[in-house]
């Protein structure tokens, strides 16, 4: 008897199969919706981070994000 796993859909578009999870909030995301910035560690090391569009702008999650400006 085969154990077939049900495909997990992307939580953002709900149409494509998720291939990873956001490193910030943990939602499943597809290759079309994922944001992959490169973060620099040290003088020569880089690392690709899989983040959703909400977490990509959060400086607490993405060290390269710009701080958000508060509305006055």
Which residue is listed with tokens 């919706």?
33
Quick one: which of 20, 15, 22 has its CA closest to 53? 22
52: β partners: none
pTM summary value: 0.69
Q: Where are the beta strands (DSSP E) in the chain?
A: 20-21, 28-29, 38-41, 45-48
For the stretch 22-34, pLDDT in tens is: 999 999 999 899 9
Q: How does pLDDT run across 26-60, given as a tens digit for each residue? A: 999 998 999 876 655 556 656 677 899 899 888 88
């Amino acid at each position: 008897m085969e154990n077939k796993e049900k495909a997990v859909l992307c939580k953002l578009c709900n149409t494509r199969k998720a291939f990873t999870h956001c490193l910030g909030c943990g939602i499943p995301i597809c290759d079309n919706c994922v944001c992959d910035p490169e973060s620099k560690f040290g003088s020569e090391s880089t690392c690709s981070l899989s983040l959703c569009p909400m977490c990509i702008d959060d400086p607490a999650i993405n060290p390269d994000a710009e701080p958000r400006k508060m509305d006055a």
